[in-house]
Structure 1
């Protein structure tokens, strides 16, 4: 069974946490004691129904305010697929949390309140999911019960959002009318909306095709760790040298010719080992250990690729940056640490080209800094070459984070647009 990672997004009170609670409840993915605790809390609050949003809103502050602050991760499975859910916040001041949750997602569900329609925050989250290159986008029009399950209202919202999405790079867009509170079109088709001919949300999640979303053409293997069991008792294990990491692109097989960066030396793959034993091929997102035919000086941060298909070795990088630091701003001449795949280097902010208004998509070229939750295009220079691809080509080798040298805290997330 494969794994689908999906994130939920939308404005405050659009029902994201209730939707996830409904998915978990109707797919029998919660324990009896969890359900009893939720029912008890619901009674204590005086609500006439079981508030399923409490299954994900775990922080006390969230329960008191009825909002989601942190990114809450939940796991469940059906006979067809395993799922990892990232329930992300709706408030504008928690945009950085939404970026974190969506950065590894295969699919994003953007909820819209059928009464309110497409709001500013709906547009913001739609833009962010396309900026982060989330391959599949589902617009779930929630609270259809509060508009009498009106087909006309659903069509109106769909047309408005489609017009906005035409400005974005949204490759796969699906619209589903739902009521998370009552379960309409969440796990099973709703009898209240006979005019809707599509599938339920869970059916769509189970069958959306994600295998072709990953880059299986460009072989990229960032080395994370060199395995040398010096304390091994047998001679065979004592001579073992393997290079562990996660396959970031392409397909690797024993006998394939590969090239090591930065040395430029070529060799072949002798074997591919996993925790469960040797395998005949490795592909994203598998974590494996490569054994090579020749002894090459390889260390953490190096890259293994194909001789005729190499990433760019770049020290000059143009990227879209989502700034996540509170109290400190990104400005030209700022010095930071950049972490790209398994390689870490120092970086200097050479220029801030523009700040992007994610609501209007307007570029403010007069901007001199980026503050908390702001996004802009920046030029960086690194102290050593990074082996990169454009983010549009490979999210793993095209993405990076920025770290404050003084506090060691993550202050920004970047998506490479150009490198030279």
Structure 2
């Protein structure tokens, strides 16, 4: 009995040593990776691994040859540009190496993408993200789509610039038990995935959805709303940037998300759309981050009042064409106020008025353990007497204002109370100071 245990211990030890050999010696690049390039990178986990780029190859067989002549390695990221006449991805492409993240880009959007059933077999227990860009996917068969079902730990799947795609093939999507993030960018026809092919059954753990710059979504917002209604998924992070949504589109889409994601949605992004006012988010008590940069808000309708009752921590409104913010427009219900960052960078603001900023800055300053800040980089402010309330009477609030500069480039932190003496009626270039402009 003891001899059996000893043999078992020995075998397990040999296996562990063999597997650890990839890491114990440390990642090493060599000339054998030519014509691909290799470098050692430090990952977010603090571990050194290899990053391989194969951008100047004539056919996929070269990549297979590279991995056949190089030693086994733990590759963090593999990048390849697929030549237009490359043909199918070959079987057992990476041989003995581990590859955790794959980024494939087709040379032109007419490049036919084909997968061999055994192309990525060796990666089934290691691959974490798969990104395919600028490829023609119309000819992918059911067996080729099923290649994705071999990835037991795939967390992120990305399709970008996928313009030539047969939407009927979406029914061949295999079930991905571990997938948490689906990223669709600059692509067509993928919105049909949500209603017709039961994405909640295909990706039962999906919590992060990215649909950015998708032209079909723009022209079929009503169809997308209906599709979202059918989902049985509680999303945590959603990005829908650059889809040219109007205020009505945004309200309707948020309404559909509220049916399943009311208690789970933590981050929502609607950057680069056609919004003119803040969307209503009162149905999302867990929402902490709202990003609305590069929209076109009207100054008359702009107000944070719609955030009353919310628990937002981040609100980004950079490049939103704001110029004259109305008095009290930034006031939010104090009982639930948790805003840590209000980003107003790159707008057209010229006044930093008491009636606009005093209340919100005080609330940010009152949270001693976790105070908030307002970003106002790239706004050219008039540094006249209207600033006396901040520079003279409330200088302690300056620490909660980042990037504030006068129209001549002088930072607010370089302004001193003595420079505002003229605001008390004495002589000087500054205009006489009113009580609280």
TM-score normalised to structure 2 length: 0.21
Pick the structure with more helix per residue. 2
Pick the structure with more strand per residue. 1
Which gives a bigger RCO, structure 1 or 2 (Cα 8 Å, sep 6+)?
1
TM-score normalised to structure 1 length: 0.22
Larger Rg: 2
